[in-house]
Amino acid sequence: MRPLPLAAVLGFALLPDEALYAQTAPFYDATPGLAALRPAARQALAAAGITALDALPGYDLTLTVQPGPRTFTLREEVYFTNTGRAPLGEVVLRVYANAVRPPTPRPGDPPWAPPVRFTRGACAGARCAVSAESPSVIVVRPSAPVAPGGRLRVTLELEATLPQIAAGRTNLMAQGMESLSAMSAGESAGDYGLLAVGDGVVSMANFYPVLARRVGDRWERTDSGAVGDLGSDDLSNVHALIDLPAGYTLATTGVALRRTEAAGRLRVEVGAAVVRDFAVMAGAALEVATRRVGDVEVRSIFQRQHRAAGQRVLDVAAHAMEVFQRRFGPYPYADLDVVEAPLVGGAGGVEFPGLVTVASMFYGDASTPSGPPTRVGSGGALGGLGDLGGLLSALGGGGGGAGPAAALGQMLPSMLEFVTAHEVAHQWWHGLVGSDSRAHPFIDESLAQWSAALYLEERYGAERARRDGDLQIKMNYQFMRTLGQADAAVDRPASAFATPIGYAGLVYGKGPYLYNAWRTAAGDAVFWRAMQRYVTTWRWRTAPATGFLDALVAEDRAHAARYRALARRWLHEAHGDEDLGQMDLGALVGNMLGGPGGQASPAVQDALRMLGPLLQGIGRQGGGSGSTPATPGLPGGDVSPQQLQELLNGVMQQLETQ
């Protein structure tokens, strides 16, 4: 988030391209937030059908954060215009931080309470009833339906207590164990620390009410599972006044319009126009390193003790920015913040407009464990990039010597680099080019994975891209198959994936290779023209599942049948074993323990294979699909978190003795 003088912000309203958004009586003033967009992106709005900024939903936030007691208060103004064709008797908002519950508590744990609490609401200039239908659903019922083109302004007041992430939980070993155990429960892993305080960092995402997704003529009140991303994916404008202790480093979506400091408090005014989400990160012990890529300022924000890793992240993000702008088109925002965040539950990184986070576990020293994970038995999605990396870190354990820990130390830089490039790629998919992340999660996630490999190819050459791609992409699929889960269609709703390992294996591990197949079939000239057409056609819109295919066919109609056949093969059919091969588990672990040519003992390989059915829930009451036969010798009935922990510990102990 780059501070911008207020005079410069006010000047935007006088520029010729801003006249497009001037109205006689605007619903609300979103023009200051245009400072967050580069000029080319502002000029592209009209072509995307955005001719009046105030027709987009507007969120005006007054946020007061108290990191010490881990609380915040929020007063929010919601500006809603009915852009549909039918009157609306109700308007539904979601608090997505409350939509995902943590794992089932252990005996003696306190009952779960939603972190964000709605206290009151009202409508400006109209009578309405505002109530919390559930922790994640707020319903506004005006006295008269909102007609097509009609407007509604709602005032909400909320308060929250931020969860505390335990010390030691965010290191690589702990998160590796958490990734493995997350696969065992078939339940939510919580929000991955997106709304929490940990390692001295305040992380605030999904914290404010936003308009719920619309499916046909109804508001979506539930999410049909927590695998994948939760959110609306719609464009909006955000204005925020953020009040927090003086001395804190602040990163947000958008740009700082004004900063003041008095009486030990820092007050920052932020504007963010035409964004799909808004997030806040802050910490008293964070450092900032910057680099310019053309007129874009790239910032790496990290904990002081991780300065070397923070500088590395800056270098990767800046190079990724250069590669992606050259291949995909201009980055839309004025700056990009890459923030070290205390992510948990196996998440490797999370994207927001103009801001991405990378998990703290990739910044630290892999050879120095800081304690065991706080619990076993979490579940839900693994953030896409935390699944296999987490498994490998768990297998590496925390022991000394030159074996697993040393291998992990060598792997850590490449893991950090790949995750960073993946998250930067999300600024195009689905920051600029929107997509429905619930109905078709492959659109942005598979393409972001492929883009990270493209960064490696452009910077280091094809061989490095292939090698790291095998580890960071393909192995997601191969690991899924090693655990006995069947190959299946990639293009399906997030709710259709029964397990997190299936989601990671197919969306992150198999789907990216479609773009390699298309590129080979089309040749570089046609492929890169199609890429530019795809971005130009769908920027600031919502691309369909066939968006890239349509662009490719438009560039080369003579080979349309070939491109469509490849899409069927990779997205809807099951040829993964033929196309990607299967994992040699013994060689994989052997490479970790002693380099190429090593082999894990048969006992270790047997123990690892035993994990497969447990991680899919087989043997647990109500768990698993029942399609994979049970492994002989597995315990019957319910498999408790303690049993899984014992098995994991046994595997790690055997690895340490290799």
Q: What is the pLDDT of residues 420-436, one digit of tens each?
A: 999 999 999 999 999 99
Runs of H (alpha helix) within 285-364: 307-328
Domain identity same for 209 and 63: yes
Domain identity same for 140 and 167: no
Residue 472: which domain range? 442-580
Residue 425 lies in a domain: no
Q: Which of 364, 385, 420 corresponds to the end of one domain?
A: 420
Domain identity same for 177 and 210: no
User: Residue 258 pairs with which residues in a beta bridge?
Assistant: 269
Are the beta carbons of 363 and 416 closer than 8 angstroms?
yes
Please check the confidence at residue 8 and state whether its pLDDT lies above 80: no
From residue 304, how far is each of 23, 309, 310, 336, 344 by CA, in Å?
47, 10, 9, 20, 20
Nearest to 48 by CA among 216, 213, 235, 253: 235
Nearest to 580 by CA among 499, 497, 481: 481
Please check the confidence at residue 224 and state whether its pLDDT lies above 50: yes
Listed range (123-132, 216-225, 560-569) with the worst mean pLDDT: 216-225
Domain identity same for 338 and 302: yes
Two tokens, residue 505: 């294996």
pLDDT at residue 213, rounded to an integer: 93
Please check the confidence at residue 495 and state whether its pLDDT lies above 80: yes
Torsion of CA 87, 89, 95, 98, to 10 degrees: -140
pLDDT at residue 598, rounded to an integer: 52
Amino acid symbol at 131? S
Residue 483 lies in a domain: yes
Using H for helix, E for strand and C for coil, what is the string for 519-574? HHHHCHHHHHHHHHHHHHHHCCCECCCCHHHHHHHHHCHHHHHHHHHHHHHHHCCC
119: exposed, middle or buried (Cβ count in 10 Å: 0-12, 13-18, 19+): exposed
Please check the confidence at residue 406 and state whether its pLDDT lies above 50: yes
Domain identity same for 196 and 314: yes
Q: Output the CA torsion sign for 223, 225, 229, 230.
A: positive
Two tokens, residue 322: 């250069």
CA atoms within 13 A on the CB side of 327: 20
Q: Output the CA torsion sign for 258, 259, 260, 266.
A: positive
Q: Compute how many other C-beta atoms are within 10 angstroms of the C-beta atom of residue 579.
A: 14
200: exposed, middle or buried (Cβ count in 10 Å: 0-12, 13-18, 19+): middle
| pLDDT tens digits, one per residue of 21-67 | 434 478 999 999 999 999 999 999 999 999 999 999 999 999 999 99
Which pTM does this prediction carry?
0.86
Nearest to 647 by CA among 106, 170, 177: 177
Query: Which of 185-189, 481-485, 642-646: highest mean pLDDT?
Result: 481-485
Q: What SS3 class is residue 636?
A: coil
pLDDT at residue 480, rounded to an integer: 87
Please check the confidence at residue 629 and state whether its pLDDT lies above 50: no
| Residue 513, domain CATH | 1.10.390.10
Please check the confidence at residue 83 and state whether its pLDDT lies above 70: yes
- What CA–CA distance (Å, rounded) separates 174 from 274? 38
pLDDT at residue 347, rounded to an integer: 85
Residue 407 lies in a domain: yes
Percent of the chain with pLDDT over 90: 64
| pLDDT tens digits, one per residue of 500-527 | 889 999 999 999 999 999 999 999 999 9
Please check the confidence at residue 561 and state whether its pLDDT lies above 80: yes
Please check the confidence at residue 118 and state whether its pLDDT lies above 70: yes
Domain identity same for 397 and 483: no
In total, how many domains does the chain have? 5
| Residue 300, domain CATH | 3.30.2010.30
| pLDDT tens digits, one per residue of 586-623 | 555 554 444 445 555 565 555 555 554 444 443 332 22
Domain identity same for 522 and 533: yes
Q: Which of 540, 563, 580 corresponds to the end of one domain?
A: 580
Give percent helix, percent strand, percent coil of the chain, each to the nearest 5: 40, 25, 40
- What CA–CA distance (Å, rounded) separates 80 from 153? 6
- Mean pLDDT value across residues 629-658: 45
pLDDT at residue 22, rounded to an integer: 39
Q: Compute how many other C-beta atoms are within 10 angstroms of the C-beta atom of residue 568.
A: 12
Helix (H) or strand (E) holding 236: strand 236-245
Helix axes 513-522, 524-538, angle to 10 degrees: 120
- What CA–CA distance (Å, rounded) separates 297 from 36? 12
Nearest to 170 by CA among 305, 49, 315: 305
pLDDT at residue 104, rounded to an integer: 61
- Mean pLDDT value across residues 174-178: 73
What mean pLDDT value characterizes the chain?
82
| pLDDT tens digits, one per residue of 270-292 | 999 999 999 999 999 999 999 99
Q: Compute how many other C-beta atoms are within 10 angstroms of the C-beta atom of residue 470.
A: 14
635: which DSSP letter? P
Domain identity same for 23 and 68: no
pLDDT at residue 288, rounded to an integer: 98
Percent of the chain with pLDDT over 70: 75
Label residue 232 by pLDDT band (50, 70, 90).
confident
Nearest to 349 by CA among 219, 448, 201, 480: 448
Q: Which of 518, 551, 580 corresponds to the end of one domain?
A: 580
pLDDT at residue 181, rounded to an integer: 63
pLDDT at residue 394, rounded to an integer: 40
Residue 426 lies in a domain: no
Q: Compute how many other C-beta atoms are within 10 angstroms of the C-beta atom of residue 171.
A: 23
Domain identity same for 180 and 329: yes
Domain identity same for 576 and 460: yes
Domain identity same for 71 and 216: yes
Give the chain's length. 658
Tell me: cis bond preceding 422? Omega within 30 of 0 counts: no
pLDDT at residue 112, rounded to an integer: 83
- What CA–CA distance (Å, rounded) separates 586 from 173? 21
71: exposed, middle or buried (Cβ count in 10 Å: 0-12, 13-18, 19+): middle
Amino acid symbol at 108? G
Residue 81 lies in a domain: yes
Are the beta carbons of 189 and 103 closer than 8 angstroms?
yes
Residue 156 lies in a domain: yes
Please check the confidence at residue 244 and state whether its pLDDT lies above 50: yes
- Mean pLDDT value across residues 382-392: 40
| pLDDT tens digits, one per residue of 353-370 | 999 999 999 998 543 433
Q: Output the CA torsion sign for 547, 548, 549, 552.
A: positive
CA atoms within 13 A on the CB side of 125: 8
- What CA–CA distance (Å, rounded) separates 117 from 162? 11
Helix (H) or strand (E) holding 288: strand 286-293
CA atoms within 13 A on the CB side of 380: 26
Residue 529 lies in a domain: yes
Listed range (32-41, 260-269, 549-558, 599-608) with the worst mean pLDDT: 599-608
pLDDT at residue 463, rounded to an integer: 96
Q: Output the CA torsion sign for 380, 383, 385, 391.
A: negative
Burial call 130-153: b when 16+ CB within 10 Å, e when fewer: bebeebbbbbbbbeeebeeeebbb
Q: Phi and psi of 132, rounded to 5°?
A: -90, 110
Residue 88 lies in a domain: yes
| Residue 122, domain CATH | 2.60.40.1730
More confident residue, 227 or 95: 95
Domain identity same for 249 and 235: yes
CA-angle at 207, arms to 206 and 213, nearest 5°: 50
